[in-house]
Structure 1
Amino acid sequence: MMKKKIVCTFIALCALLSFAVPNGQAQENTRASLVKISQDYLKTPYKYGGTTSAGFDCSGFVLFIFKKFDISLPRRSADQATAGKAVKKEDLQPGDIVYFKNTPKSNVSHSGIYIGSNKFISSTTSHGIRIDSLNDPYYWGKRYAGARRVLSE
């Protein structure tokens, strides 16, 4: 009788685990959710020092979005550029944080969230939350300084 109970429990547990989302898939879902939520704030106005949906500066926007996923980040872009682990441009995944310098300060002074297809979302002084190309030849492409991954793998 005890063996039968153990076997039934084992079978039930195996069946339950077969419905679990694989870790890679869960990570992909988190990345997609992060991108989707960040895009919900498109056209939100720029506000110096802003960290709410009433208005964001660049690092305030990044901070706000990642906080929704229980990830704490430093407040300033330059400090955010030390969080997590470095990622090569060719290895970027949606949800990675991208950094820029010479905007106009020579050090890291702008951050955004990579959303895929060489695009990122950030809060700009001229247009608020918007999507731009990492490779923009006139502005962002020349100022790209690196990326960090703060989502666990």
Structure 2
Amino acid sequence: MKRNLILFISPVLVLVVLLATGYKLYTPNVAHPTTNVIAVAEKSEKVQHADDKWVAIPAKGQPGNYSTAEAAEILQYANSLIGSPYQYAGITPAGFDCSGFVTHVFDRFAMDIPHSSSLQASEGIAVAKDEAAPGDLVIFTGTDETDRTPGHVGIVISEPGDTISFVHASSNGGVKISKVQGTRYDIRFLEVRRVL
């Protein structure tokens, strides 16, 4: 009887001690079996499906499987805002600044992107310029291209390998579409970040 009680209490005691010391138990969601959409966990993990397939779960802040359907929805909404005016620190269709526009668009799709171009420059993962895909963030310097810190941001609308086109809120014209190559944006270009 005493041995059975110890066998029962031991795992419970271990759990209580782990929780009391701040250890966190993670129960990540896994890829949906029909859509292969992968959830995000607090730390990178590998989990096993019921069908014995192992799936990597990316860490929070890291993109999962790139979804062209999701990117298309995001761009459709972003493009519907073309013509909205520019407003410093603006985050609504009544007026956007560049990072407020990005924040607003992604928020519409339950994606928490901070309202700051410098913070947006650390979201997701960096991808090569020629791999920029619809829905990626394109990061630029501010108007002083000699200051190589993030100061402007837009959402890529072009396909990988094409000249990068992006939709953004510009202090010169509000929400509009611009190109990188062959413009001052080419000089101001810093990087592309994949957040999907």
Matched, 1:124 2:166: no
Matched, 1:108 2:150: yes
Matched, 1:146 2:188: no
Higher mean C-alpha displacement, 49-58 vs 98-107 = 98-107
Deviation at 1:90, TM superposition (A): 1.1
Q: What is aligned with 1:6?
A: none
Q: What is aligned with 2:19?
A: none
Give 1:148's aligned amino acid.
R
Deviation at 1:96, TM superposition (A): 0.2
- Identify if the C-alpha distance between structure 1 residues 83 and 22 changes in structure 2 by more than 3 Å, giving closer, same or farther: closer
**Which residues in structure 2 correspond to 1:79-118 (within 5 Å)?**
79-104=119-144, 106=147, 107-116=149-158, 117=162, 118=164
Higher relative contact order (CA 8 A, sep 6+): 1
Give 1:124's aligned amino acid.
S
Deviation at 1:126, TM superposition (A): 1.1
Q: What is aligned with 2:53?
A: none
Q: Which sections of structure 1, spanning at least 5 residues, go unmatched?
A: 1-16
Deviation readout 1:37-86 (Å, 9 max, x if unpaired): 10000010000010001000000000000111111112110111001111
- Greater helix content: 1
Give 1:111's aligned amino acid.
V
- How many angstroms apart in 2 are the aligned matches of 1:88 and 1:26? 15
Q: Which sections of structure 2, spanning at least 5 residues, go unmatched?
A: 1-32, 38-64
- What is the aligned-residue identity percentage? 33
Deviation at 1:26, TM superposition (A): 8.4
Superposition TM-score, scaled by structure 1 size: 0.79
Q: What is aligned with 2:70?
A: 30
- How many angstroms apart in 2 are the aligned matches of 1:60 and 1:102? 15
Deviation readout 1:93-118 (Å, 9 max, x if unpaired): 10000000142372110000000142
Which has the greater radius of gyration? 2
The alignment partner of 2:156 has SS state of: strand
- How many angstroms apart in 2 are the aligned matches of 1:26 and 1:132? 23
